[in-house]
Amino acid sequence: MPRSRFPLRSLSLAVPLALALTACGGADSGKAENGPAKGQAKETAPAGVAHQHTVLEAEIAANGGETKAGEYRVGYIVEAAEPWFEAKGGKGGKHAGHMMDPELVNRAPAKDETHHIEIIPMEAKTGRIVPDVPIRLEVIDDKGKVVQAQDLNFYYAEFFHYANNFSIPKNGKYTLRATLQRPTFLRHGGSGEKPALSEKTTATFRNVELKSGN
């Protein structure tokens, strides 16, 4: 999805990112006085990871908003309807009964699709974008009527996010209600510990202006 319309000066809106590489069992917040201990990485993020969060923060500030919901910091971004690649069917392979991977085909926005609405669930205590979250987004008008509700897809772009194209009948202010189910990934941990990100939560954004060309 296109991101080039944001000038470089908007990237200064982001908070500098510090990312410590740790064992998969947990995080260690301690720092060595004279630099990282042997075998420990410096607290710097790879360029692509830092850029992802820089662009994300700029877009939330320019075209969206955020809220706290349970263990999450949840951001939203509203844009014009967008294209994406999706899998279409599968072609027969050399061996009978074998199917090759589906072809990725570009899908243009449908004629009635007006907006691409993104939801970005981040673990509040670490800032990490959370994968494998089933999310359903409802767009609600000022009378409390659900104009459209859709399950969101997970997208690869300059930052990972969940989204779909929506068909909004008229310009106005709407409420966005995102229901985040428990992520489907497995969790490390010992007996008696509370599993992380283990509860369903809802993030609500009110007075969101949706207009043609958002």
**pLDDT of res. 23:** 39
- Quickly list DSSP for 73-111: EEEEEEEE---EEEEE---B-SSTT-BPPPEEEEEPPPT
The 10s digit of each residue's pLDDT in 17-76 is: 444 333 344 444 344 445 455 665 566 889 999 999 999 999 999 999 999 999 999 999
Please report the pLDDT score of residue 12 as a whole number. 38
Lowest mean pLDDT among 27-41, 76-90, 101-115, 163-177: 27-41
Residues 161 and 175: their CA atoms lie apart, in Å, by 20
* pLDDT at site 13: 40
- What is the structure's pLDDT at 37? 58
Domain ranges of the chain: 68-214
Please identify which residue in the block is written with the tokens 């690869």: 156
Asked if the model's pLDDT at residue 144 lies above 50, the reply is yes
Q: Among candidates 161, 134, 128, 111, which has minimal Cα distance to 49?
A: 128
| CA 65 centroid distance within chain | 13
Residue 123's pLDDT band (cuts 50, 70, 90): very high
User: pLDDT for 31-40, tens place per residue?
Assistant: 444 545 566 5
Decide: residue 146, CB within 10 A, 0-12 exposed, 13-18 middle, 19+ buried: exposed
Cα distance between residue 71 and residue 43, in whole Å? 24
Q: Is 176 exposed, middle or buried (0-12, 13-18, 19+ CB in 10 A)?
A: buried
The CATH homologous superfamily to which domain 68-214 belongs is Periplasmic metal-binding protein Tp34-type (2.60.40.2480)
